[in-house]
Amino acid sequence: MNSPVESWNGQKVMNFVKAPLRISYVGGGTDYPEFFKYNAGAGVIAAAIDQYVYLYAHPLSEVADENLRFTYRETESVQKIEDLKHPVMREMLRDVKWSSRTNFGTFADLPSGVGLGGSSTFAVALATLICNDSILPLDRDALAKLAIRIERDVLGEAGGIQDQYVAAFGGFRRYGFESDAISVSENLLDPLSIAYLEERQLLIWLGTSRDSSSYAEHTRLVINTSRSLLKETVNLLEVTDRAISHSSSPVESFNAIREAVYLGWDLKKKFTNRPHPIVDEIELKLKEFPQAAMKLCGAGGTGFLLLLAEPETLKDIKSSMPNYKTIQPKIDHEGSKLLNE
């Protein structure tokens, strides 16, 4: 594998990638292979958002003692790929037979373990960085598949496969999962509908993150006992997809998404771990705003809570919960991207 760093007029150039986190509106849980390999119609409607994982690569100095350096929560300096402790970095570099002496580093807009797909987004960012060909356009399906193969097959980590696809493709799309194929729709919403949605969605930070792998493992284990609930989720996905595709206005599209989030949350609570008490507290508070729909993002019991409501209602909700920090995310339309192109 060639170096990630190109030369321009003899100068070293740092390669820099950003990949978006995601919000899943309906279908979560059906993207686990334990479900979709045996059940037709699995899929999610999800959007990439303007919160990112960043990754850079730069050649190491000739006087550096190590061959690889990777800075994340800690800094690893090693001679061989096999000596890296970070599992995704180690296995992806090994998979592509990386040979360049490189200084890698990563950081993100949000903490890890918040239910927005950060770990898989990192895997897609790394795939984007090391598979870059400055001549050919990025194959986004290949990026997602490489990230999935490393995380799910090589490392055996539990989890679904929506996060990798959303990070690779960006936009507001439907992703369909079958035993032998993955489908990616065009953007489901036009620009006016996207803008309308962005004004009416809010992420509430619950103040605590979680170990996503343990929650993913729990979800994988309970799928066999929750197939009927997940099939209801598939039906809700189909109804929502049809409603969006036949909507004649941003208002109709938004109402279909809000209804899906409202109904999907009731289904999700029946087959995932019991949410954190903070979630119960906020859900009780939101009974004062019956027109708002909510759901917990990701498979864990805490992290971010998604709210969908009219702008004035969101404003009132924020005023009623002054101790909670919030983000009003916009949709990312580009997916994983090299910033130095």
Banded pLDDT at 179 (limits 50, 70, 90): confident
> In this structure, is residue 265 part of a structural domain?
yes
pLDDT at 137 over 70: no
Measured distance CA(198)–CA(176) in Å, rounded: 24
**Contact assessment for residue 307 and residue 314, using Cβ atoms and an 8 Å cutoff:** yes
Supply the range of the domain harboring residue 295: 7-338
Q: Where are the beta strands (DSSP E) in 237-340?
A: 293-296, 304-308, 325-327, 337-338
Please check whether residue 71 lies inside any domain of the structure.
yes
Give the pLDDT mean for 31-60: 95
Model confidence band, residue 113 (pLDDT cutoffs 50, 70, 90): confident
For residue 124, give the DSSP letter.
H
Specify the CATH number for the domain of residue 18.
3.30.230.120
- Percent of the chain topping pLDDT 70: 90
Q: Is residue 1 part of a domain?
A: no
Determine, yes or no, domain membership for 11.
Answer: yes
Does residue 2 carry a pLDDT above 60? no
Summary mean pLDDT of the chain: 90
First to last CA, the chain: 19
Q: What pLDDT is recorded for position 11? A: 45
Contact partners, residue 201, CB within 8 Å, separation at least 6: 23, 306, 307, 308, 328, 329
The verdict on residue 197 lying in a domain is yes
Q: What is the pLDDT of residue 274?
A: 61
Residue 200 lies in a domain: yes
At 319 the pLDDT is: 94
Nearest one of 214, 166, 177 to 23, comparing CA atoms: 166
Q: Tell me which of 6-15, 249-258, 319-328 is least confident.
A: 6-15
Count structural domains, the chain. 1
Q: What is the pLDDT of residue 7?
A: 41
Q: Which two tokens stand for residue 312?
A: 């004035």
Q: Residues near 278 by Cβ (< 8 Å), separated by ≥ 6? A: 206, 207, 208, 302
What pLDDT, on a 0 to 100 scale, did the predictor assign at position 12? 58
Whether 2 is in a domain gets the answer no
* Cα gap 250→197, rounded to integer Å: 8
Residues 6+ away with beta carbon under 8 Å from 228: none
Query: Which pLDDT band, with edges at 50, 70 and 90, does 187 fall under?
Result: very high
Residue 64 has pLDDT above 80, yes or no: yes
What DSSP assignment string belongs to 30-41?
TTSHHHHTTSTT
Examine the pLDDT at 70 and tell me if it is beyond 70.
Answer: yes
pLDDT(271) > 90: no
Q: How confident is the model at residue 135 (pLDDT cuts 50, 70, 90)?
A: low
The answer to whether residue 65 is domain-embedded is yes
Asked if the model's pLDDT at residue 1 lies above 60, the reply is: no
Phi, psi at residue 277, to the nearest 5°?
-55, -30
